[in-house]
Structure 1
Amino acid sequence: MDLIHRALLTALGAVSVFYALVKISLGYWKRRGILHEKPKFLWGNIKGVVNGKRHAQDALREIYAAYKGKAPFVGFYACLKPFILVLDLKLVHQIIFTDAGHFTSRGLYSNPSGEPLSANLLQLDGHKWRSLHAKSAEVFTPTNMHKLLPTLTQISARIQCDLGKENQQTRNISELVGVYSMDVMASMAFGLGGQDHQEFAKWTRNYWGGFKLWQAYLALEFPLIARLLQYKSYAEPAMAYFQKVALSQMQEHRRRDRQPLQTFLQLYSNADQPLDDVKIAAQAFGFLLAGLGPLKATLGFCLYELARHPELQDRCRLEIRKTLEQHSGQVTPECLRELKFTKQVLNETLRLHTPYPFLLRRATKEFELSGSVFVIARGNSVLIPTAAIHRDPEVYEEPERFDPDRFEEEAKRSRPPAAFLPFGDGLRGCIAARFAEQQLLVGLVALLKDHRYAPCAETTIPMEYDNRRLLLMPKSDIKLSVERVD
């Protein structure tokens, strides 16, 4: 009986301590005197997100809409973790551009000693990130991106083979653009050329392994303990495969050192101050991590919107054909620059279906907003709700309507500078954004030049998103009717 009594007291004590810790965590913004959304016990302000009942972008949009205009930012909680949600576009501009030196960290977990491929630009912070960013800037120059364009065009030509010569068919568009995006990643990030990418595709689907949200959450909150315990973010067999592929391809490139520049591995290897091979492999994995899903989804969303707006699709196709004719059928840098309406269509897709619904920053030093009493404390995690900004009716009239004319030059000048951030910007923006845009435009040229797309019986209208993903992905594969155009 005494043993049971002790066990009950111990359990009661543990529950009391746990309850007290939760209440302390969820009282952070109240103690700071910061305007905040009242949190729910354990869930904070994201109830329904963790179990997939609603998307993270919807939770953030609700808070954004409720508090915008009341303060430059508002406090909220992702489970027990306090975050700042930025509401004012002038403050967004300060964080991204003018005062970016205060926000050079993302606060993501990485463990280069135990998981070498986590030493990539996306995950690193501090002096390691600054050094890597400076060296990577040598790689992602406009000149180098132009050098990679012929290889990218060759990869896009496979789309025509995949579509075949049938006059009309129903196609799984997500699968079609997924093959293109995966081929780009395998060839240009990992140097696999025109080889069979079946094994590579298998590991791109499985590198998360036994991912558990609560473990990732604890690793973010207690990174030193996670590193001591050798917590792994990714499946070890997948990491071993990606590292082996990248290292073997670099050795192969060096044996054939007269070949033209075709991959990021070569560009990193040929830099004035090259990284060691394992760090280059980590950057290749970083491209896969940050780019494969969002770029695939964006192309799918773009065809979906064009299928629903045939007049815009015809205008886009006419521009593509006319521009190609003026450049002897070759996709050149000049050709891509002249595809102004096609780029407007792409940008409107990125606005309406923003691949990264938020940008994450962490304050590396205290930041006091000029002319106000508001202070972002050192160590505060900051979210910029890009999807909410992109659908703000005060910024974009009738935001749910697909309208590429929003991105005409005059219309762009009428909006605040930080009103469109699909891939971030500034110091911690996507360093490969120029290449990502090039990849998407080249893909659209190949997809639209000879084929017309329309909704079919299997097309999901309106679009539904996968609530289980942090990034914006369709809930089910996009399927459209495809007709060959003479």
Structure 2
Amino acid sequence: MISKETIFMYTASAIVVLFTVVYLYYKNIYSYWKKLGVYHLEPTFFFGNAKDRVLFKKSFHEFHRDLYFKFKGHRYAGYYLGRRASLVILDPDIIKCIMIKDFNHFTDRQTMKFRTSEYISEMLINLKGSKWKRMRGQLTPAFTSGKLRTMEHLVDICCNNMSDFLNENIKNEQGYELEMKDFFGKFTLDVIATCAFGVESNSLKDENGGFASRVSKFASLSIMKRLSLYIVLLFMPGIARFVPLSFFNMEVIHFLANVIKEAKKFRQSTGQKRNDFLQLLLDSETDLDKNDKNKSKDDALTEAQVVAQSVLFLIAGFETSSTLLTFTCYELAINQTIQVKLREEICSVLKRYNGKCSYEAMQEMPLLDMVLMETLRMHPPVAQLERVSTQDYTLPDSNLLLKKGMTVQIPVIGLHYDPEYYPDPYKFEPNRFSPDEKAKRSHYVFLPFGTGPRNCIGLRFALMSTKRGMVHLLKDFSINLSSQMTVPYEYSKHSMLLKAKDGIRLSFNKLSE
């Protein structure tokens, strides 16, 4: 019979051996950048350089901004997310090569292949190689200038509904106070619903905020699910394909999938056709293209692909536009002088066009463009971009060989706050985006929507709807800080997206006639 002492000795020895093996394994991994002679920060065991992010000590945006300035002075630097090595690119010229000049070496984004819904895996953002290229080509016609112009009157209807809502709720000189992300989330969903899917909606009239409320939770995950994601991402990426996890709230994804299926079913049963995003997808679906000899089998879309792109358009459009509107109003509420100047520009242009917010009128509002660009600089929707090398690649003007499969990161928020490119970066200064000022700096230090062939496909739609929304608001209302609003706001530490911890609370007042 084996004694307790012997069992203890063997157990202790096994634990020591296990920890030794794990330690040596991580020590070898964490020597990757040192062996290549690449500047890097000393990693922490298990966490790499991401401890503050994983333990929610910093928000996603704060973390990547701070990381950028720790690497400042280097063209690129090594970084460890758990045990995964990545290269952070700081040099605008190298960024240009990766995103545009040598794009064929970096066509893919970093994705985790969790065992999840095909609606997630078939989304454009998760596709790679030729499959991504084919899908991108099929979706691009939905966002041409001609298509956007046909949507303008639909956006204006939603803008009028938004103005009517404010007019009905502003009862006195104290104005009407709102949480902006919730308010603009409802407006944005109405715009997308009518422009992309032909569904009339007035979320602002929905007192329960049902649809908008559910969509806004698309990225809301419990702390346990977030920790589970990080554990798999950092320590066990190899088992991801067997784990039913997702960066999206799957209840919301399936809810939206059912909404899209119902819209699709209605059109097919009634024979109704519209000149919109959903119709573009339906016309590419297998059963509708079976008699089209000009299209190959690969050109046709499955129902899962139609639903996946529709859901992506809903949630991406919702997040991008509502966030931009929220923080534009926030900055204008703080910077009242700029708000007054912008209102004067808008009213002056509208007067020349008999009060109509026409396409031509929108082209004559340069300050509006500059205000939106400066908002995107200070409050970019995403903190960083990632690309994966699809083949071995030697970094320009260096001897550093990036192996196939290496992830490179573009620190968007760091570039946006670098005083080398934007003096006094914490000051809201729209004039930075005047033609003369833009000409003084690289195009690749301003990347709110990415750049190159894999940039945000819906950025023109987002800007068009945002600009029209701001015009309707500023011509009729003044925007002010709520007494409950703390400036500057505090980032939410539990969100990968740009989000204020306590929301953005502002108030609207009617302008005197």
Contact 2:52 2:58 in 1 (8 A): yes
2:274 aligned with 1:248: no
Could you give the per-residue CA deviations for residues 358-416 of structure 1, whole angstroms, max 9, x where no partner exists? 11111111221333223322211111111111111111121111111111111111111
- Counterpart of 2:214 in structure 1 is 203
Alignment of 1:301-380 (within 5 A): 301-380=327-406
Q: Secondary structure at the match of 1:41?
A: coil
Would the alpha carbon gap of residues 17 and 290 (structure 1) be closer, same or farther in structure 2, given more than 3 Å must change? Answer: farther
Q: Which amino acid aligns with 2:240?
A: A
2:452 paired residue among 400, 415, 426:
426
How much does 1:452 deviate?
0.4
- Counterpart of 2:55 in structure 1 is 51
Would the alpha carbon gap of residues 250 and 327 (structure 1) be closer, same or farther in structure 2, given more than 3 Å must change? Answer: farther
Alignment of 1:111-190 (within 5 A): 114-165=117-168, 166=170, 167-168=172-173, 169-172=175-178, 173-190=180-197
Could you give the per-residue CA deviations for residues 425-446 of structure 1, whole angstroms, max 9, x where no partner exists? 1111101111111121122112
- Counterpart of 2:21 in structure 1 is 17
Could you give the per-residue CA deviations for residues 128-170 of structure 1, whole angstroms, max 9, x where no partner exists? 2122112112222221122222222212222112213424324
Would the alpha carbon gap of residues 111 and 254 (structure 1) be closer, same or farther in structure 2, given more than 3 Å must change? Answer: farther
Matches of 1:437 and 1:134, distance apart in 2:
21
How much does 1:274 deviate?
5.4
- After TM superposition, the score normalised by the length of structure 1 is 0.91
Q: Secondary structure at the match of 2:87?
A: strand
Contact 1:358 1:386 in 2 (8 A): yes
2:498 aligned with 1:466: no
Q: Please, which runs of 5 or more residues in structure 1 have no aligned partner?
A: none
Q: Secondary structure at the match of 1:292?
A: helix
Moved more, 134-143 or 60-69: 60-69
2:443 aligned with 1:417: yes
- After TM superposition, the score normalised by the length of structure 2 is 0.87
Contact 1:186 1:200 in 2 (8 A): no
Alignment of 1:207-222 (within 5 A): 207-208=218-219, 211-215=225-229, 218=232
- Counterpart of 2:291 in structure 1 is none
Percent same amino acid at aligned positions? 29
Q: Which amino acid aligns with 2:167?
A: G
Matches of 1:188 and 1:476, distance apart in 2:
31
Matches of 1:336 and 1:3, distance apart in 2:
79
Could you give the per-residue CA deviations for residues 300-325 of structure 1, whole angstroms, max 9, x where no partner exists? 11111111111111111122222223
Q: Which amino acid aligns with 1:432?
A: G
Could you give the per-residue CA deviations for residues 420-468 of structure 1, whole angstroms, max 9, x where no partner exists? 1111011111011111111211221122120001223212112322122
Contact 1:268 1:274 in 2 (8 A): no
Matches of 2:300 and 2:156, distance apart in 1:
27
Q: Secondary structure at the match of 2:507?
A: strand
How much does 1:100 deviate?
1.1
Matches of 2:235 and 2:281, distance apart in 1:
33
Q: Which amino acid aligns with 1:180?
A: F
Could you give the per-residue CA deviations for residues 41-71 of structure 1, whole angstroms, max 9, x where no partner exists? 222222322222222333333332233333x
- Counterpart of 1:227 in structure 2 is 241
Would the alpha carbon gap of residues 222 and 12 (structure 1) be closer, same or farther in structure 2, given more than 3 Å must change? Answer: closer
Q: Please, which runs of 5 or more residues in structure 2 have no aligned partner?
A: 285-294
- Counterpart of 2:94 in structure 1 is 91
Aligned Cα root-mean-square deviation (Å): 2.6
Q: Which amino acid aligns with 2:85?
A: P
Matches of 1:274 and 1:439, distance apart in 2:
30
2:280 paired residue among 267, 286, 291:
267
Matches of 1:136 and 1:112, distance apart in 2:
26
Matches of 1:310 and 1:51, distance apart in 2:
38
Would the alpha carbon gap of residues 311 and 159 (structure 1) be closer, same or farther in structure 2, given more than 3 Å must change? Answer: same
Would the alpha carbon gap of residues 61 and 18 (structure 1) be closer, same or farther in structure 2, given more than 3 Å must change? Answer: same
Q: Which amino acid aligns with 1:183?
A: D
Matches of 2:349 and 2:152, distance apart in 1:
17
Q: Secondary structure at the match of 1:476?
A: coil
